[in-house]
Amino acid sequence: MGAVSDRRFLVTGGTGSFGQAVVSHLLDHGAAEVRVLSRDEAKQEAMRIRLRDPRVRFYVGDVRDRDSVLRAARGVEFVYHAAALKQVPSCEFFPLEAVRTNVLGSMNVLDASEQAGVSAVVMLSTDKAVYPVNAMGMTKALMEKVATAFVRAHPDSGTRVCCVRYGNVMCSRGSVIPLFLDQVRAGQPLTVTNPNMTRFLMSLEESVRLVEYAFAHGESGDVLIQKASACTIGDLAAAVCGLFDVPTKMDIIGIRHAEKMHETLAGAEEMMRAQDLGDFLRIPIDDRDLNYALYVDEGHGDRRQPDAFTSDNAPRLNVAEVMEVLASLPEVRAVLPPSRLNAASGTIPAPSQTSGSAAPNADELAVVP
């Protein structure tokens, strides 16, 4: 992508957690103009008041409406496509709504971007798109297929298209961490689906870095992944309680609709052609056409298929390490008591872990000097 300075950007879904993070990042790095396309005029107004920056222009619209995307995209160089329906349970109950936004809406973004002469589009995907078992993941997988098909169908297009895959972005919309923070501060047990469930951990800053990397280094049709560490949900709950120096008490509620025990950032089949780029993985497009006979060779019968890159086999953080990660997040530091904030800079012993429905009492929640 080169320097951000003096460039013009469009962020679809720009009032969401990731959208706001990337808008602030672009402004801090000298962008000439950042356009925000979203459906929520109230969030736009709140964002306008908070930023107070004339370089930000707001467009009320919907990626389901191609014309509204085209109006916002004219004159920009780069598009971050973050608009999505991303809540797994909601998408389970309203799958066609997920299709309209995540699949058809993404096609609208690609068509409008090419018509507007945009240089590059980066589309935000998710680990749930790999071996999907829920409507959210299925529609994000189809979004990736739509991007791939677009690249194949437009080999001479001046618009470069890449996808990036995230694990769980901590403290973003839908993250369990804000819920855990509210529960521990209220003296309630932490509602945990399954303590042995694993999830990737990524900060908003890291997610912005991945998109920047895609703009700078991605080739059309690529799926780019940032390598991430993971932890169990039980250890995440224990780490939140540890930051507040209260015993870990969990209310095990069971797995919700269409959730997985472990998430996957790159499937085994993808890992066979993935390129290791240090902190990132690049999965290049399979650019063969339907004339498969042209691509037949002798093959490698003894070649072993590598393992998928999952939250179960990724580097696993223990409770103390998760506490250190959480203590670095602005959203967590904003609610930690001052004495615990100071302690979070050092090593805090993890509390004992118990499960059940009994909540810590007020004395247990008091800050320990």
Tell me if 369 sits within 8 A of 252, measured CB to CB: no
List residues bridging with 266 in a β-sheet: 309
- Active-site amino acid positions: 128
Residue 271 sits at φ, ψ, to 5 deg, of -65, -20
CA 249 – CA 237 distance, rounded (Å)? 8
Residues 6+ apart with CB under 8 A from 129: 137, 138, 140, 141, 143, 144, 165
Tell me if 73 sits within 8 A of 3, measured CB to CB: no
CA 233 – CA 197 distance, rounded (Å)? 6
In the chain, DSSP finds a helix count (H) and a strand count (E) of 15, 16
What are the strands of the beta sheet with 248-252, ordered from one edge?
190-192, 248-252, 353-355
